Amino acid sequence: MGANIEGAVLTGTVLEGADLESLVKGQVAMTRSTRSLRKSVQKILSDHTLWAESNGTSGAGAELKDEDLSRIDLGGIDLNGADLRGCNFSEAKLSNGVFILTDFTRANLSGISAQGADFSGANLSESNLRAAYLRNAKFDPVELKEPDGRPLGRTAPSNLMGADLRDADLFGVVLEGAMLQRVITEG
């Protein structure tokens, strides 16, 4: 009989040469760090952090269309305004991340853990959020501003049009003001 590692978190564990044939997996968190990403993706994330911290005067906003970021641990990351259309974030850790005005159109966010994340003004249209853990995540409208901080007099709502929210945990989530046309919650 194999080892039962149900509930174990194996992030950073080196299993090279291990015989895992009889392993009983159960609920095992198999996330990966950003170090496992291609250097070009690491650079884009690093440049985006610099861009966000400098209010756009240094670095560059992230454009990561259609990237495979599945099972990645990005907890607490700031990806405000990033272009993440079509990315695969399945089973990623995004808890407490900041994704204000981020574009997740048609992204796979199934099974993500995003407790306390801020998706205010984000575009999640046609995204797959099936079985996503979104407890206390924010989906508030965002006041749009000029680069110098002056208000434009408009807001951008969170857009969940056509998103698949089946089996998502939305405890503590307020969707008032969000665009919810064609959201899938059953079936």
Q: What average pLDDT does this structure show over 157-170?
A: 98
Kindly tell me if the per-residue pLDDT of 24 is higher than 50.
Answer: no
Are residues 52 and 24 both part of a single domain?
no
Are residues 142 and 52 both part of a single domain?
yes
69 burial via Cβ count (<10 Å: 0-12, 13-18, 19+): buried
Query: In angstroms, how far apart are the furthest CA atoms of the chain?
Result: 65
Are residues 167 and 182 both part of a single domain?
yes
Are residues 60 and 1 both part of a single domain?
no
Domain span at 139: 31-187
What angle is formed at CA 129 by the lines to CA 113 and CA 67, rounded to 5 degrees? 80
Q: Which tens digit of pLDDT belongs to each residue from 48-84? A: 888 888 878 888 999 999 999 999 999 999 999 999 9
Name the residue with higher pLDDT: 101 or 31: 101
Are residues 40 and 23 both part of a single domain?
no
Using 50, 70 and 90 to split pLDDT, how confident is the model at 29? Answer: very low
Cα–Cα distance for residue pair 130/83, rounded to 1 Å: 21
pLDDT at 52: 83
**Per the structure, how many domains does the chain have?**
2
CATH number for the domain spanning 39: value is 2.160.20.80
pLDDT at 15: 62
